């Protein structure tokens, strides 16, 4: 069905299509029958896929990556569509419009996207309201946080603290985004000294919030794929030393290698989709080699099929996320990946998803 719908959807510009999807999901959320239909059409449950990570139960290992539900408006209906978790955001302390439009491009031949959205979002206060229902969702909700465009990097830590303070009671885990290529100089925060200062401040803030009675929430660092191996290894060690609970690898890439549409390749922004998959999988493999089971990894970047997700998990990811494949494959993408994962596990004689994590290294 999505094949036919996609022809119509792809006639709209990507942002209008996205707004329509959010509105449709909001509508489905407002009527009990709407939620039931979503769940009947796209939901999928299988005990082989249920896993506990950081003491949180995830119904399956395929989550929705940050950037789709930026304002935490539709995480409940998304959860009914077969996702094992939904990461909302990136949220910043103050609302901001993001970059000028157009800022999102479909590279159809490559099933890829280039975006330079620039953290357009309604700010943490509005998100806190929407997230106050997070426990009604049928899967865990992650909250991805960043800094406002106008906040200089030497004050960035205070933006992340503000986000944590406003949102800490809501959501099951937090993701620190220093890896978007679309906020000027944000990726400089991945430099070792800046990163150490930032993560130390964030850890301290979270410890403080816990002292005042908040439940401990895992804090993850989301990294870019464009670092050298040496830099990535430094980043991973800093994250470990500064008490991060996990890593998300990776964000979009600045690389345009093998992009077919050379005209669109010139658009500034981050590239996502299948071309990112080899690098994202390699990052997960290298990180797992360095940290083993000490710090769970969420693998993201170009996953379209169950085979992609299977490889990512064998390389060391405890879970995966998708974004671009949902645009090209449709709302059933997570369920298709999950069903294939089960097939592959059965083929290889595994009975539970936890058995495949990092198996390539063993």
- Site residues for ligand FMN, 168-207, by CB under 6 A, read 177, 180
Say how far apart CA 195 and CA 176 lie, in whole Å: 11
Applying CB under 6 A, among 53, 65, 76, 236 the residue interacting with ligand FMN is: 65
**Which candidate in 130, 180, 272, 325 is catalytic?**
180
Give whichever of 236 and 275 is closer to ligand FMN, judged by the CB atom: 275
Nearest residue to 332 (alpha-carbon basis) of 49, 9, 86, 41:
41
CA distance 312 to 356: 10
Q: Which residues are annotated as a binding site for FMN?
A: 66-70, 90, 144, 177, 222, 250, 273, 302, 323-324
Question: Quick one: 35 or 180, whose CB is closer to ligand FMN?
Answer: 180
Minimum CB–partner distance for residue 106 and ligand FMN (Å): 10
Could you say which of 111, 252, 281, 318 contacts ligand FMN (CB under 6 A)?
A: 252
Could you say which residues in the range 262-291 bind ligand FMN, by CB under 6 A? 272-273, 276
Question: Least CB distance from residue 304 to ligand FMN, whole Å?
Answer: 8
| Nearer residue to ligand FMN within complex by CB, 35 or 66 | 66
Q: Which residues, 6 or more positions from 100, have their beta carbon under 8 angstroms from its beta carbon?
A: none
Q: Quick one: which of 72, 113, 224, 244 contacts ligand FMN (CB under 6 A)?
A: 113
Q: Greatest CA separation found in the chain?
A: 54
322 binding ligand FMN? (CB under 6 A): yes
Between CA 217 and CA 207 the distance in angstroms is: 10
Say if CB 299 and CB 319 are below 8 A apart. yes
Q: How far apart are CA 209 and CA 220, in angstroms?
A: 17
107 near ligand FMN, rule: CB under 6 A? no
Q: Residues within the annotated binding site for substrate?
A: 70, 115-119, 177, 182, 251-252
Contact status, residue 75 vs residue 53, Cβ threshold 8 Å: no
Helix axes of 156-167 and 192-211: crossing angle, nearest 10 degrees: 30
Extract the annotated binding site: 66-70, 90, 115-119, 144, 177, 182, 222, 250-252, 273, 302, 323-324
- Phi and psi at 298, nearest 5°, equal -100, 120
CB of 114 within 8 A of CB of 270?
yes
**Which residues neighbour 15 within 8 Å (Cβ) at sequence distance 6 or greater?**
101, 102, 103, 104
Of the candidates 192, 263, 248, 225, the residue with the CA atom closest to the CA atom of residue 53: 248
Residue number of the CB atom closest to ligand FMN? 67
Which residue from 39, 51, 144, 151 is in contact with ligand FMN, where contact means CB under 6 A? 144
Catalytic (active site) residue 180: yes
Of the ranges 53-61, 212-220, 236-244, 301-309, which one interacts with ligand FMN (CB under 6 A)?
A: 301-309
Which residues would be at the binding site for ligand FMN (CB under 6 A)?
A: 65-67, 70, 90, 104, 113, 115, 117, 119, 144, 177, 180, 222, 251-252, 272-273, 276, 300-303, 322-325
So which residues are the catalytic ones? 180
């Amino acid at each position: 069905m999505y094949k036919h719908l996609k022809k119509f959807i792809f006639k709209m510009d990507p942002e209008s299509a996205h707004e329509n999807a959010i509105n449709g999901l909001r509508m489905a959320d407002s009527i009990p029958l709407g939620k039931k239909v979503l769940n009947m059409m796209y939901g999928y449950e299988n005990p082989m896929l249920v896993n506990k990570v950081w003491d949180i139960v995830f119904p399956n290992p395929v989550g929705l990556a940050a950037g789709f539900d930026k304002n935490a408006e539709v995480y409940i209906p998304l959860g009914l569509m077969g996702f094992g978790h939904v990461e909302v955001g990136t949220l910043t302390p103050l609302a901001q419009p993001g970059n000028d439009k157009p800022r999102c491009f479909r590279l159809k031949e490559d099933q890829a996207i280039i975006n330079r959205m620039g953290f357009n979002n309604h700010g943490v206060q509005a998100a806190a309201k929407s997230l106050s229902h997070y426990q009604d969702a049928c899967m865990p909700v992650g909250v991805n946080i960043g800094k406002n465009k106008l906040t200089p990097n030497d004050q960035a830590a205070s933006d992340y603290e503000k986000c944590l303070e406003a949102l800490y009671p809501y959501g099951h885990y937090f993701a620190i985004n220093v890896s978007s290529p679309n906020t000027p100089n944000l990726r400089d925060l991945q430099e070792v000294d800046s990163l150490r200062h930032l993560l130390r401040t964030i850890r301290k803030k979270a410890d403080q919030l816990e002292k005042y009675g908040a439940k401990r929430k895992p804090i993850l660092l989301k990294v870019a794929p464009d670092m050298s191996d040496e830099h990535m290894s430094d980043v991973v060690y800093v994250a470990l030393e500064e008490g991060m609970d996990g890593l998300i690898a990776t964000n979009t890439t600045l690389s345009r290698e093998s992009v077919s549409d050379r005209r669109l390749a010139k658009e500034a922004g981050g590239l996502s989709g299948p071309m990112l998959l080899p690098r994202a999988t390699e990052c997960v493999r290298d990180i797992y080699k360095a940290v083993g089971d000490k710090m769970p990894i969420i693998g993201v970047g170009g996953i379209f099929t169950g085979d992609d997700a299977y490889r990512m998990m064998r390389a060391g990811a405890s879970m995966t996320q998708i974004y671009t494949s949902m645009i090209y494959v449709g709302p059933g993408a997570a369920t298709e990946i999950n069903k294939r994962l089960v097939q592959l596990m059965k083929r290889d004689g595994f009975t539970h998803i936890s058995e495949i994590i990092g198996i390539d290294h063993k």
